[in-house]
Structure 1
Amino acid sequence: MKPVVNYDECTGCATCVEICPEVFEMGDDEKAFVKAEDKCDTCDCQEAADTC
């Protein structure tokens, strides 16, 4: 799975960061971004996507 954040739809809830901090991070604008897409195998990116 390739992690992607839809910036326009991101509410800044940080759920993705809580579930998969190796991949997602919150920016200064309080929106999530992908910091390491190659780390998706170390956490549950699918759960992060489903919960978002």
Structure 2
Amino acid sequence: MRIAIDTDRCIGAGQCALTAPGVFTQDDDGFSALLPGREDGAGDPLVREAARACPVQAITVTED
């Protein structure tokens, strides 16, 4: 699995971090970021739900 965050589109709503806190966080400016070592989702079943929860669809999840 590959996770990409479109930082130009992200508005910092934080829904991803609330939905899958083991994979997503927010940087110092409040925008979405992946936790170190979690770039592949780390098997978290909530990654896709976090992508769907993004109000501006800034997160893309694809299979390798």
TM > 0.5 fold call: yes
State how many pairs are aligned. Answer: 52
| Identity within the alignment, % | 31
Higher relative contact order (CA 8 A, sep 6+): 2
Higher-strand-fraction structure: 2
Check whether the contact 1:23–1:34 (CA below 8 A) recurs between aligned residues: yes
Gaps of 5+ in 2: 55-64
Q: Which has the larger radius of gyration?
A: 2
Give the RMSD, CA atoms, in angstroms: 1.4
TM-score (norm 2): 0.70
Higher-helix-fraction structure: 1
In the TM superposition, structure 1's runs of 4+ consecutive aligned residues that sit over 4 Å from their partners are none
Aligned-pair distance for 1:43? 3.5
